[in-house]
Amino acid sequence: MTSEAVARQAQELAALYATVAEINSQRDLKALLNAIIERAVKLTGASSGGLYLIEPDNKTLRFVVGYNMPEVFIGIKLTVGKGVTGRAASLGVPVLSGGQGGWKGRARVSLGGALVRRALAVPLKLGEKVIGVISLSDEVNIEEFGEQDIRLVGLFAHQAALAVEKARLYEEERQRSYALERSNRLVAALSRVGTLMQATLDASQMMETVGSELKQMGIDILIALLENQTPYLTLQYVSAAAKALTKIEKDLGIALVGWRFPQAALAAEGVLNTGGYLYISDARLFYQGVFADLSRDSLRRVMRLLGVTRGKGVLCLPMTVKEQALGVVCVWGEDIHEQDAPAFSIFANQTAVTLENSRLYAELQKQALHDELTGLYNRRGFFMLAEQQLKISKRLMTPFHLIFIDMDRLKVINDTFGHQEGDQALIDAANVLRQTFRASDIIARIGGDEFVVIVTTASENSLDIVMERLTKNIDMLNRTPGRKYSLSMSRGIIPCSPGQSETIDGLLSQADALMYAQKRIRKLELIGAEQA
């Protein structure tokens, strides 16, 4: 072996050793690949060189680093199978071109646009898989690259492949660690939100609390409930600023709370029917489904006011209680990814349980304040609302009237036709009162056959009209074909002025006395009529 060959071999070994050491210590993949290409170019006597990596589509090669190559080449893509570099990638073996006289199709690819006289492309391989190519070119020498050059570049290609694979594995591990850490943070945050949710049985307050907490995490939320017997969802809450909601309602005439949209708009049938989830990488597409009925301009303005922009992903998950779907929870933000589905799935079910508990509590509250038979307020509900009305009357200096009503001859109806018919008579009486009085008036059944009504802001003249309407409605009921008996009511009316110091109990007693006075007069009139 000549001294020249020995010197070159020593250079090669030193370069390879340095590369191995850098692979084990260097975290900057680009710097490492740059060093590999520089050594390959210098040791082979080439003019320039570059390293390409195969894209995920396996159809193209992307220029990653180069030596004596223009910066503008970074990112350039070549087609696998075409040219020296592309053929090396497709064949998985070194490819040579050039030599004496060059070759047909040679290109001006180097600095200064000079003709490439010879080229060598060697694949980067992991096992049998090609992941890239080292490509060397020369604009000066016309002697073809030799076996020793191919062997040396092959060693560099192998080292480059190891470096790329190590970087890939490191990045995967880093991503896994980050994902795990992020998942733990997300679970902890959602657990905290879940605890806050359980602190109230007020559905509106719960949703506001959830929205506020998630906002601090850079996450927005939408909650929509299934409608009964329809394929629609009704929007119950969206975590937008109050100013934005007001502007949307004022400028566009759109009330977001109560907005209806079909399940099909978001492929939500699958979410609700299968218990899975829907992930959309662009939240704008999500809103296009929710607000499909809006014009393009209105939709754009709504999304702008809600802060919906490119780059925000959205997760849509079912809210389920005892395998029964109640609706969907949708969350979106720049840091929302598909892998967040498990954590948010648990959160969605927590939300469902809280909403269901809120509904049950409201139902119990309603039952506690309402008469089961007639649906009117019961004695407890009446006194609670009447006390509030008394305070409002005194504060605003507005009068009201209290009417005590007793349904006549209920015992006779029960004894003659049975208690079921007696119950129906009470229901009929309640319906007549509903037809007569306004929704703002307080109507209650406070005893077996006793009813009471508080008529708000009624003058004496308007009250007379209301009483006439009550008489008319009773007469219309009694003229119903097939009725077995006539319904009648005795009543006592007490006006309440803001300056009075009367209590609700006191007013009831006075109205009760007036009612019984009317009842006695009617009995005397009835007896007189029978004797006559």
332, 312 in Cβ contact below 8 A?
yes
The domains of the chain are located at 3-171, 198-367, 379-531
Q: What's the predicted TM-score (pTM) here? A: 0.53
Residue 94 pLDDT greater than 60, yes or no: yes
Highest mean pLDDT among 31-40, 286-295, 370-379: 370-379
Highest mean pLDDT among 3-17, 120-134, 280-294, 320-334: 120-134
pLDDT, tens digit, 9 for 90 and up, residues 296-312: 898 888 888 888 888 88
Count of CB atoms within 10 A of residue 120's CB?
A: 27
Cα(353)–Cα(198) distance, integer angstroms: 9
Cα(292)–Cα(298) distance, integer angstroms: 11
The answer to whether domain 3-171 and domain 198-367 are alike in fold is: yes
Mean pLDDT rounded to a whole number for the chain: 83
Q: Which helix (H) or strand (E) holds 223?
A: strand 220-226
Half-sphere exposure of 202 toward its Cβ, with a 13 Å CA cutoff?
A: 4
pLDDT, tens digit, 9 for 90 and up, residues 490-499: 999 998 887 7
The mean pLDDT value for 474-494 works out to 92
Superfamily of segment(s) 3-171: GAF domain (3.30.450.40)
The mean pLDDT value for 205-223 works out to 85
The mean pLDDT value for 279-287 works out to 86
What pLDDT score does 112 carry? 47
Reported as a pLDDT band with limits 50, 70 and 90, residue 9 is: low
Q: Is the dihedral of CA 248, 253, 255, 256 positive or negative?
A: negative
What is the full DSSP assignment across 388-421? HHHHHHHHHT--EEEEEEEETTHHHHHHHH-HHH
Beta partners for residue 137, in sequence order: 48, 119
Least confident of 211-220, 414-423, 446-455, 462-471: 211-220
Q: What is the CATH number of domain 198-367?
A: 3.30.450.40
Q: Which CATH number fits domain 379-531: 2.40.10.10, 1.10.8.60, 3.30.70.270, 3.30.70.20?
A: 3.30.70.270
pLDDT, tens digit, 9 for 90 and up, residues 132-172: 999 998 888 878 888 888 988 888 888 888 888 888 888 78
